[in-house]
Chain A
Amino acid sequence: MKKTCKLVTVLLTVFMLLSLLSGCGSKASPTDTPQESSLTEDTASTDSLEGTGLSDEPVTLSFIRAGTDGLAEAAYAELIAAYTAEHPNVTIEYQQFNFGSELETKLNTLYASGSAPDIVRAPISTIAQRASLGQYAPLDDYINSWEEKDNIIQTAYDVASYKDHCYGIAINIEASFLYYRKDHFIEAGLDPDKPPTTWEELYEYAEKLTVHEGNSVVRAGFSIPVAWGHTVFIPFARQNGATLVDVENNIPVFNDGATAEALNYLASYSANNLLIPYTINQDQNPFELGKASMMLGSLSNYKTIIASGVDWADQLMFAPLVSGRETESCFGGCQIMFMSEESKHKDWAWDFMQYLFTNESVWKLVTDAGATPVKNDLSGQFIEAYPNIGPAYLEALSYCEGMPKVKWSALFEKYLNMAYEEAMYGTKDAQTALNDAMELLESELGE
């Protein structure tokens, strides 16, 4: 009997120890220095590394995309189907996640568990942290030997570069510009051929276009979010001469007077009850629901509005974002195609990425999902196909800027949005909100 008890105890202990060992991985420990390309030394890859030869062995690539837009999902599904039809030995497992915490959680879990996706389409805000952790693979060698290299617009490489290495290629740059409704303008006595060109005009137009029923706003003049509004806040701050982040010295500098002035300006819309409150990535923009007269949007918003079959699509007009007081700026959310350093099929991953950047694939994404024509060959075709929206978009593309490329980009976004929200809700004035946010961010960075 005692022997049986001992046996059971030993079995239980062994099982427990096995479960402890199963949690151990054998990942290479990342360093702060971005990894050099391991193209010629990648012994983990099962693909042939001689020249551009790819093996016929069955290969499964995992592809994760940030964004849950239905049109983009359908476009990527078709592209993947076409690619796998051409390469029957390749299976592509596709998943998509919302921007923000959902994407971060998924990527963090996958990388931590050793199940890194082969290809990731993620925003620019992820590049500094993940390149430093060695999660993204530098693509310099692949790009340098790519025959299409010079056909990609330079911005697509610039936004994907970090510390002298190119970690990806931007497949979409969501430069934002002004959307407005011609019918609302006429109704409010405004000339639709003269959109607002300054901050003051924008506010004046918003006041005239806003419709109230009692105390409630039933139609917002200029629709901006009350929370997570960094994509609106950042361009206004930059237009006012603010830097927000000193990338060279790796410090935040967003509590300066220029940023506070921009935040005060945006908060005045809320303070004077000109908004229908919504949160980016959580609620639909009231403009897309026909409940606002102006908004900042990108090409994908246009596609979404057209696809939703609204009866006012022909009333849409477009203009560059109002002129900055110090400089021109608009927000350009960059969606970049990255390859994971841990990918076991880098050559196949690169082959699929090359496929996504062919003229046909890029044009499909432009027409179906409102993506950027990132090929130099396609700019003329784009203007021809979209004479109404094309000029505003291409102008915005020329001076758009995305999130700063720092390792603490997620924390910067969090605390900037905290200040934005406090100012929009009127619980603090802009300068106090920014000072408090800066203090919290600095204390976290200091830990």
Chain B
Amino acid sequence: MVLPKKKKAHTGHEPVGYLFIAPFYLFFLVIILLPIVIAIFNSFTNYDLYRSSDFIGLSNYKTLLKDPLFKKALVNTLVYSVLYIIPSMTLGLLLALLVSGESRRYQVFRTGFYMPYIISMVCASTIWLWMFDPAAGFFNQILTSMGLEASTWLKNPALAMPCVVIVSLWKNLGYCMLINLSGIKGIPAYLYEAAEIDGADAFQKFRSITLPMLQPTTFFLFITTCISSFNVFEQVNVLTGGGPMNKTTTIVHQIYIRGFTEFKMGYASTISVVLMFIVSIITIINFRFGNQGQDTDMG
């Protein structure tokens, strides 16, 4: 009796698997990778959105090195990043700790803090623009009713950037809180029980258990807030238009101004390529030196 031959099992070559991941890769290719390639190409041309673009070599990059507005935008972006990242991560963690309880009332607070995150930044900025208005804004009405002097807020070169940062913080704090909260909820409860048995107080528990166990979450938040802070645009465009005196113009704001209002899409592409490299370098440094956390052996 001849037994039928067993077919060899083929693993790792399922066509259905490729078909399942094809939509994402198509999206990635067409929506993300292709525009990057086109932008890099355009950065070597004088493309102005209408005429056929001529290859001009490194001319755009040379101009960029001498462009005082780009230098200002770079400095402003760095200032914004520092002013935004540190408070957002600190306050996000603090809020998460405050609302991490099990009681139902904490759910109300979590919802309240998260709600600004779901509205569009343009809408939020428009509302804050009114609140900061020197003539009839909400903040100045409060100040004057308390007998204090009104401020010029967004029209004050020294206050304009902090005001933009405040709007960003208000809007995104809920997101930082939520991410930290998910990290906190993932910390095994018995670690805290053991620490309590050993006589640890709240601060010691926070320092020795919460912070180390939150390292992966903190690292993730740091990366994402770094990237998002370098891409700041909507609140700058609505609140200040880059002013006063270019004190709040950022790299992406310059990309927009150059590309869409000055017919210099080639030059704007150059700025965006440089931005891409800056963000890539920062991300690589973060991954190189950032501790992605250790799995604690619970035995």
A and B from one complex: yes
Q: Determine which residue in B25, B51, B63, B262 has the highest number of CB atoms from chain A within 10 A of its CB, and name it.
A: B262
- Give the complex CA separation of A410 and B261 in angstroms: 8
A282 touches B241 (CB 8 A): yes
0 or 1 for each of A162-175: is its CB under 8 Å from B? (1 = yes): 00000000000000
A-B contact pairs, 20 of them (CB 8 A): A1-B10, A8-B15, A15-B26, A15-B30, A30-B51, A101-B256, A101-B260, A108-B260, A108-B263, A129-B263, A133-B50, A216-B149, A216-B150, A278-B134, A282-B241, A284-B136, A289-B136, A421-B243, A425-B245, A440-B68
Give residues in B with beta carbon < 8 Å to A: 10, 13, 15, 18-19, 22, 25-26, 29-30, 34, 49-52, 59, 63, 68, 129, 133-136, 144, 149-150, 152, 155, 157, 237, 241, 243-246, 256-257, 260-263
Given A289-B136, A410-B261, are A29 and B52 neighbors across the interface (CB < 8 Å)? Answer: yes
- Give the complex CA separation of A425 and B18 in angstroms: 61
Given A133-B50, A286-B135, A440-B68, are A8 and B241 neighbors across the interface (CB < 8 Å)? Answer: no
**Residues in A whose Cβ lies below 8 Å from that of B237:** 101
**Residues in A whose Cβ lies below 8 Å from that of B243:** 227, 279, 421
B261 touches A104 (CB 8 A): yes
Q: Is A12 an interface residue (CB 8 A)?
A: yes
Q: Which of A243-302 contact B (CB under 8 A)?
A: 276-279, 282-284, 286, 289, 291
Given A19-B30, A214-B149, A215-B149, are A422 and B135 neighbors across the interface (CB < 8 Å)? Answer: no
* Complex: chain B residue closest to A225, CB-CB: B155
0 or 1 for each of A130-142: is its CB under 8 Å from B? (1 = yes): 0001010000000
Given A29-B52, A422-B245, A425-B244, are A8 and B29 neighbors across the interface (CB < 8 Å)? Answer: no
**Residues in B whose Cβ lies below 8 Å from that of A226:** 155, 244
**Residues in B whose Cβ lies below 8 Å from that of A216:** 144, 149-150
- Give the complex CA separation of A422 and B19 in angstroms: 59
B50 touches A279 (CB 8 A): no
Give residues in A with beta carbon < 8 Å to B: 1, 4-5, 8, 11-12, 15-16, 19-20, 27, 29-30, 100-101, 104-105, 108-109, 111-112, 129, 133, 135, 213-216, 218, 226-228, 276-279, 282-284, 286, 289, 291, 410-411, 414, 418, 421-422, 425, 427, 440, 447
- Give the complex CA separation of A1 and B13 in angstroms: 7
- Give the complex CA separation of A291 and B63 in angstroms: 45
- Give the complex CA separation of A133 and B34 in angstroms: 28
**Residues in A whose Cβ lies below 8 Å from that of B256:** 101, 105
Other A-B contacts than A5-B18, A29-B51, 15 sampled, CB-CB below 8 A, are A1-B13, A4-B13, A8-B22, A101-B260, A104-B261, A111-B50, A133-B50, A214-B149, A226-B155, A227-B155, A227-B241, A283-B133, A291-B135, A421-B243, A440-B68
